[in-house]
């Protein structure tokens, strides 16, 4: 069939690029939509991380953006065609599948979904008014901005992101309050230790943010203690969310089986989805591990599953 791609990859984090590397080396001439603004920025969440110390092969650590640039270069070296465009429509009801961005539409025999997950928001009453005026879901991207310098800042969450972001923000803030809804952190022990012993970080336990205050810029937060219901105001110049992620599955909702939380369901031990010829890898199908290295590993699995599926379909 003319002009039908063998494999199209949507997403450009570690999962997408590893899938590109393996499918290109299998002579499948992959096309990748690396995204433009949907789901954040092309390159995925590593682009919003500073030091990555847990990706094997880098004994001194590596900056997230540098790691993603290396991934991308490797995909390009093996001739993956990369479009810096958001996919706006996918039709999985007919084979070959259709994938469309605002700029182009193509058909493809197989599809690898590696669209990742996006940071969650608290949906506070004043959030729309103050978004990007002192509220951010990415301390690493925004923390160095002048509006946050030498001011008290608030981070919400209790996981590794909250620990990492609050530690990072101590470089700029006069003080960092880490507001967590429970009495113990979910973060790994080593990250917890960094937070708990840091002289500039104060953890506010068993507390939620009821609203954010300010008109043109964030001036404080209204906190509510969960156990007593008692409210108080804390002055701050910024509010950073680190409360987890939502999988980027809008494109395929209603076309593929998703779980209760919206993640793509894959067959155990594989990257096969509910539609034959469609594979999913990385954070869009993984809420358990969510690491760069597990995303890359599942990208490799998707490429191998895809290659075998195409070979079987052609036989
Ligand atoms: P996470 O582990 O899901 O933690 C989310 C945190 O936000 C939890 O503490 C949760 O509270 C809290 N939370 C969720 N919804 C909330 C709400 N509506 N209001 C208040 N608090 C809320 O997410 P994450 O920290 O982003 O980490 C995601 C994954 O990435 C994890 O596997 C993590 O290990 C990994 N990660 C690794 C690194 C690193 O190693 N350098 C850095 C960042 C992330 P509860 O605890 O009460 O549920």
Report the domain count for the chain: 2
Residues 107 and 143 in one domain: no
Which of these three, 241, 259, 279, is where a domain ends? 241
Q: Check which CATH number belongs to the domain holding 42 and give it.
A: 3.50.50.60
Residues 14 and 97 in one domain: yes
**Is 243 close to ligand 1, i.e. is its CB under 6 Å away?**
yes
204 contacts 178 by C-beta, under 8 angstroms: yes
**Is 166 close to ligand 1, i.e. is its CB under 6 Å away?**
no
Question: Around 32, how many Cα atoms within 13 Å sit in the side-chain half-sphere?
Answer: 33
b/e map of 261-285 (b: 16 or more CB within 10 Å)? eebbebeeeebbbbbebbbbbbbbb
Q: Which domain holds residue 109?
A: 4-118+245-314
Residues 215 and 288 in one domain: no
306 catalytic? Reply is no
Cα(41)–Cα(45) distance, integer angstroms: 8
* Residues counted in the chain: 315
The string of pLDDT tens digits covering residues 64-116 is 889 999 999 999 999 999 999 999 999 999 999 999 999 999 999 999 999 99
Residues 180 and 78 in one domain: no
Residues 267 and 227 in one domain: no
CA of 157 to the centre of ligand 1 (A): 6
CA of 252 to the centre of ligand 1 (A): 25
Residues 102 and 9 in one domain: yes
Residues 213 and 126 in one domain: yes
Which of these three, 216, 241, 266, is where a domain ends? 241
**Is 64 close to ligand 1, i.e. is its CB under 6 Å away?**
no
224 contacts 135 by C-beta, under 8 angstroms: no
Q: Enter the pTM of the model.
A: 0.77
Residues 165 and 137 in one domain: yes
Residues 108 and 154 in one domain: no
Residues 38 and 16 in one domain: yes
Residues 125 and 227 in one domain: yes
Nearest alpha-carbon partner for 16 in 29, 4, 32, 38:
32
Tokens 């620990």 correspond to 163
281 catalytic? Reply is no
Q: State which ligand 1 atom lies nearest to the alpha carbon of 182.
A: 47
The string of pLDDT tens digits covering residues 22-75 is 999 999 999 999 987 766 667 777 876 667 888 999 999 999 889 999 999 999
Residues 109 and 249 in one domain: yes
Q: Whose CA is nearest to atom 7 of ligand 1?
A: 243
CA of 177 to the centre of ligand 1 (A): 16
**Choosing from 138, 236, 281, 306, which is the catalytic residue?**
138
């Amino acid at each position: 069939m003319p002009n039908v791609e063998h494999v199209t990859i949507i997403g450009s984090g570690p999962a997408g690029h590893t899938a590109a590397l393996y499918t290109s080396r299998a002579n499948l001439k992959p096309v990748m939509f690396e995204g433009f603004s949907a789901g954040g920025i092309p390159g995925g969440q590593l682009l919003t991380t500073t030091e990555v110390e847990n990706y094997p092969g880098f004994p001194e650590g590596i900056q997230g953006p540098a790691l993603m640039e290396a991934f991308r270069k490797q995909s390009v070296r093996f001739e993956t065609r990369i479009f810096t465009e958001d996919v706006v429509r996918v039709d999985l009801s007919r084979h070959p599948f259709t994938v469309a961005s605002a700029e182009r539409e193509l058909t493809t025999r197989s599809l690898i979904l590696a669209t990742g997950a996006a940071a969650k928001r608290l949906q506070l009453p004043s959030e729309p008014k103050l978004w990007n005026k002192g509220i951010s879901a990415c301390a690493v991207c925004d923390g160095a901005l002048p509006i946050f310098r030498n001011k008290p800042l608030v981070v919400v969450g209790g996981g590794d992101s909250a620990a990492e972001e609050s530690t990072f923000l101590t470089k700029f803030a006069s003080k960092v309050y880490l507001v967590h809804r429970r009495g113990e952190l979910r973060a790994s022990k080593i990250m917890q230790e960094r937070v708990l012993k840091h002289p500039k970080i104060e953890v506010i336990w068993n507390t939620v943010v009821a609203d954010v205050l300010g008109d043109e810029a964030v001036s404080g937060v209204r906190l509510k203690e969960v156990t007593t219901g008692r409210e108080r105001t804390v002055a701050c110049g910024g509010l950073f969310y680190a409360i987890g992620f939502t999988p980027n599955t809008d494109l395929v909702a209603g076309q593929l089986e998703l779980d209760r939380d919206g993640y793509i369901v894959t067959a155990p031990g594989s990257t096969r989805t509910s539609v034959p010829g469609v594979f999913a890898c990385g954070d869009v199908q993984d809420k358990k591990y969510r690491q760069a290295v597990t995303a890359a590993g599942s990208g490799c699995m998707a490429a191998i599953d895809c290659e075998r599926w195409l070979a079987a379909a052609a036989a």
